[in-house]
Chain A
Amino acid sequence: MTEIVSGRIPRHGRRIIGIWLVLTAVAVPLIVLVLGPHLPPGRMTAEAASQRDANVLMTALLVPIALLVVVCFVYSFAVFRQRGEVILDGPPLKGHAGAQLFWIVLTSLIVLALAVWGSYTLIAGSHGAGGGQGPDPVAKPNGYQHALPVQVIGQQWEWTFRYPTYGGLETRDLAIPNHVLVAFHVTSIDVTHSFWAYELGVKADAVPGVDNVAYVHAHKTGFFQIRCAELCGLWHGHMAKKGRVLSSSAFQAWIAAAKTKNAAVMAYLPKYNRVYFPAPLRRAG
């Protein structure tokens, strides 16, 4: 305020830009190098990696925007503050066409760039990014015709899995082979669930009467967490289990073991189908 009294108008704009540049120069490398590797959902699959890249890029883009707004506000609080009881009016500035135009153009460019980049990574870059694409996927990865189909059936309150390539084998735990394109066919036999395989970067609603396809291509073997991401009733929080990405040979061994284990059950299972319609539910189940 002293500068105003002395008659010299301080260059508020330059100071704000300066503070913002310093903060951004500190924040962005921290985000990319320190926070970035910890952002979800990791790099277990190509789809998960695309989501992680999206999360890192957006954090690195949005934090500077937030910093700019916060710096403008906090600078104003500190410099343009009026203390004491006396009420004085400020300068009657009603707007500035250039500043408004600049802001509109800048935000529009950022938004359009985000939308174009998001659409590109979704369709071409990551083939649906692990999200459920419905019965008729738009973004198909190369060689999708030869993808290993794995059916995921949601019901209250359990996930079951069927492998049509292995005679419609049904299991209660999920394993997929490494370095093989997998097509999850997610469906439900009662209410809406959502199949969420966290480390795989897969999320697809399990909808009764719908075959919801999501592609995933695993790079690493290991465990991944399965959860339900759509409220499905009383034990929604308990629809969690661990799935596994296995090497090809281990996967074949696992299939063989599962076939033996479930042989007695297979006789009673309905034929493999894309969707199932059991008898309508009774109320208060």
Chain B
Amino acid sequence: MSATAIAVRPPVWRRVIGFNMLTGLALGISGWFLGGWIGGQMAVGHDYLLGTDQNDVGIFMGYLFAIIGWLVGLGFANYPIGRLLGRSPTLREHETAGWTRYFKMCTDHKVVGIQYLFGVGIFFFIGGLNAMLMRTELLRPVERPWPAGQYLTLVSLHGTMMIMMTSAFILGPFGNYFVPLMIGARRMAFPRIEALTFWLVPAAGLILMSAIAFGGIATGWTGYSPLADEGRAGMDAYVTAFILIAISLTLVGLNLLVTILTMRAPGLTWTRLPIFVWGVLATSVLMVLAAPVLVATMTMVLMDRAANTSFFLASAGGSQYLYQNLFWFFGHPEVYILALPGFGIVLEILPVFARKPLWGYRLAVAGMLGVTLLSFMVWQHHLFVSGMNAGLRPFYMLTTELISIPTGFIFLNAIGTLWRARIRFTVPMLFALAFFFNFLIGGLSGVFLSDVPSDVTTHGSYFVMAHFHYTIMGGLVFAFFGAVYYWLPKMLGVTLNETLAKIHFWMMFVFFNLTFFPLFAAGFLDMPRRVSTYAPHLQVLNDFVSASAFMLGFSMLIFIANLVWSLVFARVPALANPWASRGLEWQLPTPVPTENFERIPVITSGPYEYGVAGAPPVADFTPAALPAAGS
């Protein structure tokens, strides 16, 4: 295979010209100017646009044509146009070997997974840099070194980018890569849609960052109207990027949902399904139901800004409560889109290194489904002091507190799995265990916020900020790194340096807690969120937090150094199953063949049967050789 590939490999220029990322960028930039010109023509004669110093129609049309150009340049139009011209249907595109496939539309789920890993990783790094710049500002209680407007743009970019990118933080890389391997499938249900979901992410990221050139974003990640309506052209970038991400999330969820429901190998019953796949399934349901609401909301903001409607403008008959309701109807399921994949990952990792079956498997599944169901019934707890529907506050207090019951199941699963286990403290295990510690603090601090009298103090303060960083950074990001250290040997075929990994873990864990725990106190001491100036007596506290945050940022550099060292210089090849895991994905050779399975396996046993006497291997990979029944 490789010999023939080298023999027919075309020259470099031939591989650069064609439908790839470069062409996408070129057509995208051309589309921006074309769309801007068309939007300029459309705006002629509309007083409401002339009354401002910017033409939002032109900006939105520019983004629209830029997105179309980007996708056409990547080759997403080839297949539909080919079908229109009568070509026969094909399934796979660009599944050749070589590094160039990572910069093209590729329908191999393993390539998409690695594209996601690096794509989302880069945006996570940029979002983290924003956080470092914010903490630099907060070293002093005055607007130095960044002016207030720049600081707000940093806050908004950090929040928006982290929420947008981390929504696909686990489902993107690990969902796409491992769900087919774990359920015994050769591909995802909709491979072309899968490629589309990834390539929308860099487009959204670049468009979001273009806000820097257009006056920034002054609203934070929540983008409340009417502040959003009054914002400069940077808000148009925010709206467009969020629409793109929401479309991407909906399609990711749809694709994974259909894959899991329809493409499981024979014998993979619901009670044998790996718990990570259950987590992905629950998250996919949330994505399919919640993300379209965001598309609708952002489209309404777009109309308010560009077409002179007034959905959210009280002075013209609209209501900003409508925005807050729609936004949080997406926004609260969104926080469980961030939590559930983490649950799946840590419960997947625990049994492997505790060498015991997952304790209370059905309870874990019930917990995840319970969170999924309840997450749609709690959104008004973001509006406890908004003045809307005060009579409903006890109801939302109840539903919010009810969510801690299914979340508690996950903790019981962990306690039960560790009970009388043979725990090995490998790096993935350390991250998984840190997840539970952080999520415990994050979850219990959420109980303060769910109680209305307590929330009146803490709402909109740094207490909230510390709370959701404990759940998202302490939960999801720790689970992400657990997954990285657990699965990267299978994905990239190299072993990561364990010493550097352990330094990374301990620095990240210690400085994460030193950064965010004091912020609970900052919230209690009346420091509101998103301020560039604060009470002078809080400076010592803020300086301590900033110093810890810089060390937390430094721990990420250790991870990058480890990745580069292991991937480029050391290149210690990974074993096929270095953790002695029973997971189906670990029974495959490394690197995983393009077709995954030579024959679709027959699943003969659950994935967590550690220590079970006489448990059969997890799957039969040569099902034709099965002995006849009864022999």
Contacts and interface: CB of A to CB of B under 8 A. Distances in A.
Interface of A: 12, 39-41, 47, 50-51, 53-55, 58, 62, 65-66, 69-70, 72-73, 76-77, 80-82, 87-96, 99-100, 103-104, 107-108, 111, 114-115, 118-119, 121-123, 126, 128-139, 186, 190-192, 194, 196, 198, 201-205, 207-210, 212-214, 225, 227-238, 277-285
B30 interface: no
B456 A203 contact: yes
B437 interface: yes
A281 B228 CA distance: 12
A114 B319 contact: no
Count chain B CB atoms within 10 A of each CB in A40, A89, A133 and give the residue with the most.
A89
A207 B389 CA distance: 14
Question: Closest 4 CB pairs between A and B?
Answer: A237-B531, A209-B314, A89-B611, A212-B387
A203 B357 contact: no
Nearest to A214: B385
Given A111-B401, A131-B384, 10 more contacts: A12-B419, A89-B610, A90-B611, A93-B356, A191-B226, A229-B460, A232-B227, A234-B149, A237-B534, A277-B314
Contacts of A47: 456
B485 interface: no
29 contacts: A12-B419, A62-B444, A65-B444, A69-B436, A73-B414, A73-B436, A80-B418, A82-B423, A89-B355, A100-B412, A107-B408, A111-B405, A118-B394, A118-B397, A130-B453, A134-B387, A186-B387, A198-B526, A203-B460, A208-B226, A210-B321, A229-B528, A232-B227, A234-B149, A236-B528, A236-B531, A237-B530, A282-B51, A282-B230
Contacts of A72: 415, 418
B289 interface: no
A203 B457 CA distance: 7
Contact of A207 (B387, B424, B444, B528): B387
A138 B451 contact: no
Contacts of A136: 390
B4 interface: no
A283 B232 contact: yes
A87 B457 contact: no
B438 to A, nearest CB: 12
Nearest to B305: A283
A121 B54 CA distance: 50
A249 B356 CA distance: 73
A138 B391 contact: yes
Contacts of A129: 452-453, 456
A284 B404 contact: no
B357 A94 contact: yes
Contacts of B455: 131
A54 B453 contact: yes
Interface stretch (B13-21, B85-93, B261-269, B359-367): B359-367
A111 B440 CA distance: 16
A279 B315 CA distance: 7
A207 B320 contact: yes
B77 interface: no
B440 A66 contact: yes
Contacts of A281: 226, 229-230
A81 B387 contact: no
Contacts of A204: 385, 387
Nearest to B400: A115
